[in-house]
Amino acid sequence: MAVNLLDLDPEALTTYFAGLGEKTFRAKQVLRWLHHFGADDVGQMTDIARSLREKLAVEACIVAPPVVSDKTSHDGTRKFLFSVGSGNAIETVFIPEADRGTLCISSQAGCALDCAFCSTGKQGFNRNLTTAEIIGQLWQANKALGRDPKGDRIVSNVVMMGMGEPLTNFDNVVAALKLMLDDNAYGLSRRRVTVSTSGIVPAMDRLRDACPVALAVSLHAPNDALRDQLVPINKKYPLKELLAACTRYLEKAPRDFITFEYVMLDGVNDSDAHARQLVEIAAQVPCKYNLIPFNPFPAAHFKRSSADRIRRFADILMSAGIITTTRKTRGDDIDAACGQLAGQVKDKSRRVIRLQNAGNVTNREVTQ
């Protein structure tokens, strides 16, 4: 079976060429062709000996997930739908801003964590993505977006905040991260690559040691009782353990703070008392808060906090000297906003049926 070269991080590619009896510099050459120039055929790699190209044409391949659809929002946000086989698709979102271009990448087809307010979780979980399927989203986006007038790539930042929980697909995610950071591939700085997690504590420690990029934590509640219901993984790794892991992560992180993401749910987690509890958390871990207005999706049982409530909530945090931002809602007309990514995932976990039998969580059930 042919080896997909997009599946190999720099170390694995070096090992692969060593197995072919080739010099290690071949790995750097191929990395540049694959990721810097976007080659989709080894025949394009003109500075590599013809004999090696012929060998690679037989023994290797370059296969990224194909684009199924490509939609652009009225605000310029662009959503790509990629096929990952077996009737499943994943979604990737490009968010253009004046000073950056951010690509939001998926790590799984679906998600097993079932956060109460997230449409992806309601679709169930199918499988982890391969390294090629993860880095292939960036590879394909670079091809589609091209370069700016100066010749620079449009994508300047990558966030692992798409479909799935990145840290439950640890090995493939880290391999993709190493490609993003390698100067012969995408050459992004650690500060410009962010992994978002719901709080898989042991994997946070592993990431700190293996590839410490910027870290965002999906907090969404300031106490265990509420977070148990909004973010069920909290029952396994409660806030005390999560915050301790955040402190450990900062020992090697490229930034001196953790970003806590906090979706604003009307009447659920948006009271003044909740904000004051977040101030107490900030006293334990250097952090900034990113408040996210809830983005509705079919069958959602939550409502977005009002603009006035979000402003009041933010004021409490900022008055305590905490850096606080409110995320702009982007791409909601093409279901590309935060929490809306669902793709086309076959629910092999039968979660939807189980939820229908058990009854979905409502605002009243999770208010603490």
Q: Which residues are the active-site residues?
A: 91, 338
Rounded Cα–Cα distance for residues 368 and 362 (Å)? 12
Rounded Cα–Cα distance for residues 148 and 181 (Å)? 21
**Whether the Cβ atoms of residue 147 and residue 156 lie closer than 8 Å to each other:** no
**Identity at 70, one-letter amino acid code:** D
How many Å separate Cα 210 from the centre of its chain? 17
Q: Return the half-sphere exposure (C-beta side, CA atoms, 13 A cut-off) of residue 200.
A: 16
Q: Return the half-sphere exposure (C-beta side, CA atoms, 13 A cut-off) of residue 219.
A: 32
**Whether the Cβ atoms of residue 168 and residue 110 lie closer than 8 Å to each other:** no
In sequence order, the β-bridge partners of residue 68 are: none
**Whether the Cβ atoms of residue 109 and residue 126 lie closer than 8 Å to each other:** yes
Q: φ and ψ at 307, to 5 degrees?
A: -60, -40
Reported for 36-39, long-range contacts at CB under 8 A and 24+ positions apart, including other chains, are 36/184, 36/185, 36/186, 36/187, 38/139, 38/142, 38/143
Read off the tokens for 18: 């060593």
**Whether the Cβ atoms of residue 322 and residue 279 lie closer than 8 Å to each other:** yes
How many CB atoms sit inside 10 A of residue 310's CB? 18
